Structure 1
Amino acid sequence: MKKNYRFICVLFVTVFLATNSVASQDYFDNFPVNADPKSVGDKLSKRFLESKHQLYFDKGIHYAEVCTWYGALRFAELTDDQALIKQLRNRFELLFHIEKDLLPPPIHVDQNMFGCLPLRLYGITGDKRYLDLGLPYADTQWILPANAREEERKWHEKGYSWQTRLWIDDMYMITIVQSEAYTITGNAEYMNRAAKEMVLYLDELQHANGLFYHAPDVPFYWGRGDGWMAVGMTELLFNLPESDPNRERILKGYLLMMNNLKKYINRDGLWNQLIDDPESWTETSGSAMFTYAMIAGVKNGWLDEGEFAPVARRAWLSLCNYINDDNDLTEVCIGTGKKNSKQYYLDRPRIAGDFHGQAPVLWCAYALLDK
């Protein structure tokens, strides 16, 4: 009897360990139908193609549309969906002639990030028109305009982008176009610029709890704002060489943020509009950005799989429950400037299908599929 009991115990432990081992490898596989990343990516990409342009104060295509377009393109690349790539190119082709007036002028951090899109298209197609269009958006982030303000001149003199303003949103808008310029040209100057800029923002804005105020004079941990920091650091870590002197500092900031974000997960497995306020509502765009950063961190070995993969999986499953029948992500905070008022952030309207939310869900989809 004792031998049988011992055998059963050993068998149970063996099965448990084997099951646990398989589970650790399957966090990013075997999703239910509504959360299959290939299906979600397909649906949101098609949703994007049927949408109208979103403009930035009538001065060119809005950065949120660019982020969504870029996400659909990365998804199409990863899945080798040539038909989707062609459709996304056809949408862009109009910007060379009929819709040329919709090209954003390179006069603001939000508008310069447009350059990441033609640079990515150049990497896919080799069509030099994309390079000629995209590269100036990266270059002009560091070329001081003649009518620059005093503050912009001061940042430029210190070697930073004249578009520096210490809003956390900037750390995706600058890093993504500089990273793409580096990827295409191999010119390390682009990465050096972006990395130095990120270290400035980390040193100036990150708190001991790993989070960031929207700006130095706005003491609130706004979800999507912090999301921009998370994905900006992620994109830099993808591209920075191991030997880069700024890599260690950026990885330190990234890890501090990721480790602390786990403390603020809400009952949905996501994060709130104000991250540290348990009474505020679940906000999906920032949550999707954190999810993307965690998926990428696990897959690239920056984060411990056993610790973070279950968090990322749960968040992805929950996000997919917020996608409605029109393939629009719901509970997305509308575009938001900074304001020193907690109530301002709590009262921001929530909408469905906003590009601010569609984009990071697409990023998550291709990150999950990336081997």
Structure 2
Amino acid sequence: MIPPYRHMTVLLVAILLAPPTGAREEIRLESLPEECGPVEIGNRLVYRFLRTERMKLPYRYAEVCTWSGALKFAHASGNQDFLAKLEERFVPVFSTDKDAIPPIGFYRDDFKHYVDFNVFGVLPLTLYQITRNDNYKALGLSYADAQWTLPEGATPGHKAYLEQGLTWQTRFWIDDMYMITALQSEAYRATGDRKYVERAAKEMIAYLDALQRPDGLFYHAPDAPFYWARGNGWVAVGMTELLRNLPADSPCRPRILASYTKMMECLKKYQRTDGLWGQLIDKADIWVETSGSAMFVHAMITGITHGWLDKSRYEDGAVEGWMALIKHLDAEGNMTEVCVGTGKRNDEQFYYDRPRKTGDYHGQVPMLWCACALLEYVNR
């Protein structure tokens, strides 16, 4: 395994001696210093993940997303050692750790967080695309298909959503726009069957129509009218994932692209001088939050790579965001200033007062996504 802190001293010196934001014109996405580059940072994040004990079962979305992100980074960087260890960690779900697998397509009227469990399917589908092991494919598709199959105990409301072509799991919570679209996008990548990505695109448009504000951002929920950073980050990453996978002739693509670019433009306006965004995006007096910030940086880097965003207008912000995020990666490979899991509340002070954690998976995974996006840009 790659030593975790090979460039630690150099990295810390580079960060401490880095010139102020306005003087970084010489640093570009394709010429980041090695100690600040995607391979070095991604290696540290994956190494940290592999040293972290698995969470209580069944697996939930934050751990699943970090695991999948680690796999994608290891594959993109060609790190076979990491790939082997990440797969080895998963294999027991077919034997001794069967209870790790979340229930498929279940519904209880007192427990509605089904998308948080269903996103587990992203993990075996990611593994399948790397290994071509059909057992992984079958497991992952069972979760993707369950989102469009009525479960036992479904309500008339669930049925009504399905009749509209939407998943019965529709809730109009903004984080759904990653949880649903990521799973369906991976199913499309694994099978080539457009039904998966097209139905995810239709779902996305329904959410955009219902939730996107005129300025391009999103309230945490209709009854929580606040621009919570990580909630907006899930939408930004969800749209990015769809745009990476939607065929050029998809009738849904223009609408999603327009909403994505509108959101990026507004985020550009609220990016702080330190390169990051606040826990509430539009509040200048609130603390910096790294998980949402990393999601926005990932979306911007990917947009530049694929030509959805004008490089001349967005590259400086992407570079400044990445360099600022690195400063919040501690010596153990943990991201700092990560908002804990947060349900909606119609109380602005609630968001100001949320605890912050170090090393929370919510902050680890978007940094892995950023590293992957940078590798994709460099290798384009």
Q: With the length of structure 2 as denominator, give the TM-score of the two structures.
A: 0.89
Task: Tell me the equivalent position of 1:250.
Answer: 256
Separation in structure 1 between the aligned mates of residue 351 and residue 100 of structure 2, nearest angstrom = 30
Task: Tell me the equivalent position of 1:6.
Answer: none
| Secondary structure in structure 2 of the residue aligned to 1:329 | coil
Task: Tell me the equivalent position of 1:45.
Answer: 46
Between stretches 115-124 and 227-236, larger displacement belongs to 115-124
Between stretches 351-360 and 97-106, larger displacement belongs to 97-106
Separation in structure 1 between the aligned mates of residue 266 and residue 55 of structure 2, nearest angstrom = 34
* 2:201 aligned with 1:195: yes
Separation in structure 1 between the aligned mates of residue 302 and residue 280 of structure 2, nearest angstrom = 24
* 2:369 aligned with 1:363: yes
* 2:290 aligned with 1:289: no
Separation in structure 1 between the aligned mates of residue 323 and residue 162 of structure 2, nearest angstrom = 44
Alignment of 1:199-278 (within 5 A): 199-278=205-284
Alignment of 1:307-326 (within 5 A): 307-326=313-332
Separation in structure 2 between the aligned mates of residue 335 and residue 33 of structure 1, nearest angstrom = 33
Alignment of 1:126-145 (within 5 A): 126-145=132-151
Separation in structure 2 between the aligned mates of residue 319 and residue 80 of structure 1, nearest angstrom = 24
* 2:304 aligned with 1:306: no
Task: Tell me the equivalent position of 1:11.
Answer: none
| Displacement after TM superposition at 1:33 (Å) | 5.0
Task: Tell me the equivalent position of 1:85.
Answer: 83
Deviation per CA, 1:28-68, whole angstroms, max 9, x where unpaired? Answer: 1332454221000001001001111234xx5x111001111
| Secondary structure in structure 2 of the residue aligned to 1:278 | coil
| Secondary structure in structure 1 of the residue aligned to 2:31 | coil
Separation in structure 1 between the aligned mates of residue 326 and residue 33 of structure 2, nearest angstrom = 10
Q: 1:105 aligns with which of 99, 103, 119?
A: 103
Contact 1:168 1:229 in 2 (8 A): yes
| Displacement after TM superposition at 1:152 (Å) | 2.1
Separation in structure 2 between the aligned mates of residue 351 and residue 141 of structure 1, nearest angstrom = 32
* 2:28 aligned with 1:30: no
Contact 1:167 1:214 in 2 (8 A): yes
Q: With the length of structure 1 as denominator, give the TM-score of the two structures.
A: 0.91
Q: 1:67 aligns with which of 58, 65, 68?
A: 65
| Displacement after TM superposition at 1:153 (Å) | 2.4
Between stretches 292-301 and 116-125, larger displacement belongs to 116-125
4+ residue runs of structure 1 moved beyond 6 angstroms?
Answer: none
Task: Tell me the equivalent position of 1:338.
Answer: 344
Runs of at least 5 residues in structure 2 that lack an aligned partner in the other structure: 1-24, 107-113
Q: CA RMSD in A?
A: 1.2
Task: Tell me the equivalent position of 1:12.
Answer: none
| Displacement after TM superposition at 1:150 (Å) | 3.3
Contact 1:34 1:320 in 2 (8 A): no
Query: Residue 39 of structure 1 aligns to which amino acid in structure 2?
Result: E
| Secondary structure in structure 2 of the residue aligned to 1:229 | helix
Query: Residue 132 of structure 1 aligns to which amino acid in structure 2?
Result: A
Separation in structure 2 between the aligned mates of residue 221 and residue 89 of structure 1, nearest angstrom = 37
| Displacement after TM superposition at 1:171 (Å) | 0.4
Deviation per CA, 1:132-170, whole angstroms, max 9, x where unpaired? Answer: 111010000111112113332221221100111000000
Separation in structure 1 between the aligned mates of residue 221 and residue 196 of structure 2, nearest angstrom = 25
Instruction: Report the structure number with the largest CA radius of gyration.
Output: 1
Separation in structure 2 between the aligned mates of residue 153 and residue 336 of structure 1, nearest angstrom = 29
Contact 1:138 1:178 in 2 (8 A): yes
| Secondary structure in structure 2 of the residue aligned to 1:29 | helix
Between stretches 228-237 and 27-36, larger displacement belongs to 27-36
Between stretches 122-131 and 164-173, larger displacement belongs to 122-131
Q: 1:367 to 1:172 in 2, by over 3 A?
A: same
Give % identity.
52
Query: Residue 203 of structure 2 aligns to which amino acid in structure 1?
Result: E
Runs of at least 5 residues in structure 1 that lack an aligned partner in the other structure: 1-22
Contact 1:221 1:275 in 2 (8 A): yes
